[in-house]
């Protein structure tokens, strides 16, 4: 069963949350409600989200302040934030939203199709990143196990094991490269940074695998 991504909807008005749920239900992901900035921060303590839709005008902690808290936390700083606002205060107001860490800024009333399309892009990116992280983690465990097995394995058996691991790693590297190309022209710094982090992890795995192969420092001549 494919795990669904979680989307955080933050708005102090129940009717607005209901409208967002109606628009985004077609994406078939998990929609989580928060009626205040404080409630949103609480939800972010325990769950991982693909994207946050954050209303700017809220009593108490507004959207800008909520976003500032989100970006200060290491766990949540890379989650994309789409600001929603019913008031257009001009370029300065929009700039403040981007300065607070937003990847997009949409004024109400918004086009449901456009909003759904924007959110779907971040959901797809999140799911790809999750898949790549899981594959990289599995490969890391396999590499750690093969390092011990290589000491006692016969040469043909060892070579076959390393070849299999190398092929699996190559498949993950190919997916990561495709993701980086897809983000080549993206203005989303958080997404680009996440892809770069994954590439660095894969580079480390490739070096570890190469070190286990014939002719490595640990082999005898």
Residue 8: which residues within 8 A CB-CB, separation 6 or more? 32, 34, 40, 43, 44, 49, 51, 52, 53
Judge contact between 104 and 73, C-beta under 8 A.
no
Rounded CA-CA distance 115/73 in Å is 26
Angle between helices 63-72 and 37-46 (to 10 degrees): 20
pTM: 0.65
Q: Give 7's pLDDT tier (boundaries 50, 70, 90).
A: very high
Q: How much of the chain exceeds pLDDT 70, in percent?
A: 67
**What rounded mean pLDDT belongs to the chain?**
79
Provide the H-helix boundaries in 100-213: 112-152, 155-182, 189-212
What residue spans define the domains of the chain? 6-110, 125-212
Rounded CA-CA distance 136/173 in Å is 9
Q: Give 39's pLDDT tier (boundaries 50, 70, 90).
A: very high
Phi, psi (rounded to 5 degrees) for 179: -65, -40
Residue 208: which residues within 8 A CB-CB, separation 6 or more? 143
- The pLDDT tens digits of the residues spanning 61-80 come to 999 899 999 999 988 988 99
Tell whether domain 6-110 is in CATH 3.30.2010.30.
no
Give the H/E segment covering residue 82. Answer: strand 81-85
Asked if the bond preceding 109 is cis, omega within 30° of 0, the reply is yes
């Amino acid at each position: 069963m494919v795990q669904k991504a979680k989307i955080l909807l933050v708005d102090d008005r129940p009717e607005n949350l209901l409208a967002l749920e109606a628009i985004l239900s077609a994406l078939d992901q998990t929609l989580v409600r928060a009626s205040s900035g404080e409630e949103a921060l609480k939800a972010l303590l325990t769950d991982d989200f693909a994207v946050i839709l954050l209303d700017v005008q809220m009593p108490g902690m507004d959207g800008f302040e909520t976003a500032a808290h989100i970006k200060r936390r290491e766990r949540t700083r890379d989650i994309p934030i789409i600001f929603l606002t019913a008031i257009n205060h001009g370029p300065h107001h929009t700039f403040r939203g981007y300065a607070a860490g937003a990847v997009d800024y949409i004024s109400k009333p918004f086009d449901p199709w456009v909003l759904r399309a924007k959110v779907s892009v971040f959901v797809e990116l999140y799911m790809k990143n999750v898949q790549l992280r899981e594959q990289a983690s599995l490969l890391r465990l396999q590499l750690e196990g093969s390092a011990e097995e290589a000491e006692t394995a016969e040469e043909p058996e060892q070579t076959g094991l390393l070849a299999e691991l190398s092929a699996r790693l190559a498949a993950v590297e190919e997916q990561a490269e495709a993701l980086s190309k897809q983000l080549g022209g993206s203005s989303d710094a958080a997404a680009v940074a996440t892809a770069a982090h994954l590439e660095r992890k894969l580079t480390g795995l490739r070096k570890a695998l190469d070190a286990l192969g014939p002719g490595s420092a640990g082999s005898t001549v």
